[in-house]
Structure 1
Amino acid sequence: MDTKLKVAVLGTGIMGAAMARNLLRAGHEVSVWNRDATKTEPLAADGARRAASPADAVEAADVVLTMLYDAAAVEEVVRAAAPGFRPGTAWIQSTTVGVQDAPAVAKLAAELSLDLVEAPVSGTRAPAEAGQLLVLAAGPDAVRRRVAPVLDAIGARTIWTGRTPLKGPPRGSNLW
């Protein structure tokens, strides 16, 4: 299996930009999009392809990573990206969304035939820039293997909390 992937990063604020840079360092082909296009300029200088729209960013992507403001932004941007998705594209959703919003994210993934991995991260700017985030992920086994090179590039450790993104960590665990 080729571990060099085409990855689209939607949202290039502090965390998303750091993730995109680590993906580039790992040798992945990275497309970036941000609502404020000027935030993608430094990433283009590092080798990323600047996309004109979310749909342009995700076209031909093996994996799409979202790191946006909130659940509403996730829905808006992913719907805007919909024309560019291929069925079965892996979607790593790293935006911090509340438990109450997780079902809507899962429903959106199913509607667009995307393979969802919920993957919130723990860490601040310095760990993000160093590729040392802690990733708390949930997703089916087959998708886990497909997204592993991306999670390895952005994090020091990935803790898989379950096979279904909606279920999250086991009851009584201290992961959330």
Structure 2
Amino acid sequence: MTKAVTLLGTGLMGVGMAHSLIRAGLDVTVWNRSPEKARPLAADGATVAPDPETAVAGADVVVTMLFDAASVAGVMTSAIGSMKPGAVWAQCATVGLDAVQALSALAAEHDVPFVDAPVLGTRQPAEEGKLIVLAGGDRSLEPAVAPVFDAIGLRTLWVGPHPGDGHRLKLAANSWVLSLTAGTAQALALTRNLGLDPQLFLDLIAGGGLDNGYAQAKGRAMLAGEFPAAFSLDGAVKDAGLIANALRAAGADDRLMTALHEQYSAAAAAGHGDSDMSAVFMAHGEKGAQ
């Protein structure tokens, strides 16, 4: 049974995942490129490692939750040789389809069992252990990773037997989340710029077939102009690019996602990259014509 878990990456999502792993009674070791983001977890019961190699050495399962493909590949290329025989690598960051294959190949080169396991959810579900884990890989690895996935997730969906299967569903899900958030921003901005109180749009859809709790929550943040990060705008830019790439590779029309990528990028370029993805509203301007 899995007892020792190493989490590489204690950023916006990783810190909540670490708390969930600790609450589940697992022996948790953490590491982060910016040490100040990992150190507070020592008071919660985690061991804070000085480097990735030390961090992974005793783990039964190594979880990567770093920002992007380059950061995961850079860290694991140096650390994977320090993993003990039989330890499983669960790759939970959203890195794109090409990167999943490259990371899976890296694992295979070192005889490390690999599960593609991106998670669906934001900061609060991560903190509460209510993420959805989208697993792709050899189902025989389930007993090894189940204690980890059960700790961080409300449920685990085994999407398919191949690395990349979890990512395929994750990119589809994120395409919907990005579209919904940007669509809400557009509707509110249009209502405002046509001279009406934008709150009227949220009131209009409330309680009906068009209503959506996510749209209401993000819409309230947009109207308040308050964007504490649950999922960062920089992360939305990254994921929109990955989704557009996946659409093109699949022979599907990428024009909508390419436009959304431009919209999120514009808001990030205006200085909101560290803010919540709902700050895409700022791409419409802080003030509209009245």
- Alpha-carbon offset, residue 167 of structure 1: 4.2
From 4, 11, 28, the counterpart of 1:6:
4
Does the alignment pair 1:88 with 2:86?
yes
Structure with the higher strand share, 1 or 2: 1
CA contact (8 A) 1:118 1:138 kept: yes
Q: Which residue of 2 aligns with 1:76?
A: 74
Distance change in 2, residues 1:123/1:117 (3 Å): same
Q: Counterparts of 1:163 and 1:88 in 2: how far apart (Å)? A: 19
Q: Counterparts of 1:104 and 1:26 in 2: how far apart (Å)? A: 31
From 106, 128, 136, the counterpart of 1:138:
136
Q: Aligned letter for 2:80?
A: A
Map 1:12-31 to 2 at 5 A. 12-31=10-29
Structure number with the bigger relative contact order (C-alpha 8 A, sep ≥ 6) is 1
Unmatched segments (≥5 aa) in structure 1 = none
- Alpha-carbon offset, residue 168 of structure 1: 4.6
CA contact (8 A) 1:162 1:169 kept: no
Unmatched segments (≥5 aa) in structure 2 = 175-290
Q: Which residue of 2 aligns with 1:101?
A: 99
From 34, 43, 46, the counterpart of 1:45:
43
CA contact (8 A) 1:161 1:169 kept: no
- Alpha-carbon offset, residue 133 of structure 1: 0.4
Look at both structures and tell me which one has the larger radius of gyration over its CA atoms. 2
CA deviation vs aligned residue, 1:6-56 (integer Å, no higher than 9, x gap): 000000001111111111100000000000111111111101001010000
What is the CA RMSD across the aligned residues, in angstroms? 1.8
**Matched residues, number:** 172
| TM-score, with structure 1 as normaliser | 0.91
Q: Counterparts of 2:168 and 2:73 in 1: how far apart (Å)? A: 27
Q: Aligned letter for 1:27?
A: G
Structure with the higher helix share, 1 or 2: 2
Q: Counterparts of 2:34 and 2:156 in 1: how far apart (Å)? A: 30
Q: Aligned letter for 2:106?
A: L
| TM-score, with structure 2 as normaliser | 0.56
